[in-house]
Amino acid sequence: MLPAALEEARRGGARVLVLSPHLDDAVLSCAGLLSGLTDTTISVLTLFTDCSPGPHTRAARSFLRQCAHPDAATLFAARRAEDLDVVARLDARAEHAGHTDALFRRRAVPEAVGRVLPELAHRYPTYRFDIARGRVSRGDRALRRALADDLASRAPDVDLLLAPLGVGRHVDHLITRDLGPTWPGRVVYYSDFPYSLTHAPDAAFVRREGLRPHQLDERPGVKESLVRGYRTQVDALFPGGDVPRAPETYWSA
């Protein structure tokens, strides 16, 4: 059984806002649910939808190679176009907040320093030891305040907020997750796919928010078709070519 807030949304008439850290996360994690909603106003707000100019860190260059895109600006333009197309297929509206992806967020250092060693000019110099460890930089405090203020302004027009649970501890997912407890209305968290295949939820956050899981296993074929619409990402996410079929998991108090 789904949380009452989701059951009400499925009956129609609700205004649903989905917070997506990156340009694919909402569909990867929630496409089964979203594709089954009728007579519902759905907006997908993606927060980190842009990059910065080079020189880039080794981690960022590796990401560009995985996406078979040598240029970050053209990659993100392609990703934004993909997202607009895929979200429209859900009869939903895509919004891009325009904040910089963690791989490309820069620090205020002399330009010459960044040219010599790009890692010194970036807020998250590595993926493995910074971004994937959930070490949210102090330099992101102003960003977090701006995101919270923007979200608060939307509250009167939204009946239900869907936010990531932060499974996998990617810093952008945690920053997005932490907007959930500030929300004045009803919020349901979704397990971040495909991180949820190999990582457990943050037990401390689940306990603090009093969350319980609810699984939804429907429309897997529709979901896979939508996921494959993210052509720049699907091969990097699923190197074997197969998109795993797994139930979506939603967490509510």
Counting every residue written for the chain, the total comes to 253
**pTM attached to this predicted model:** 0.96
Tens of pLDDT, residues 91-126: 999 999 999 999 999 998 888 888 889 999 999 999
pLDDT at 218: 78
Strand 186-190 versus strand 41-50 pairing type? unpaired
pLDDT at 94: 98
pLDDT at 111: 85
pLDDT at 131: 98
CA separation for the pair 30, 248 (Å, rounded)? 7
Domain assignments of the chain as residue spans, ordered by start = 4-51+78-105+138-252
Nearest Cα neighbor of 162 from 23, 51, 22, 33 is: 33
pLDDT at 73: 97
> Taking the mean position of all CA atoms in its chain, how far away is CA 78?
17
Q: How big, in percent rounded to 5, are the helix, strand and coil portions of the chain? A: 45, 20, 35
Contact assessment for residue 73 and residue 53, using Cβ atoms and an 8 Å cutoff = yes
Q: Can you give 153-208 as a three-state secondary structure string?
A: HHHHHCCEEEEECCCCCCHHHHHHHCCHHHCCCEEEEECCCCHHHCCCCCHHHHHH
Q: How many CA atoms lie within 13 A of 214 on its CB side?
A: 16
The CATH code of domain 4-51+78-105+138-252 reads 3.40.50.10320
Q: Can you read off the two tokens belonging to residue 18?
A: 């989905």
Nearest Cα neighbor of 191 from 201, 182, 181, 183 is: 201
Give the residues of the chain that fall short of pLDDT 50: none
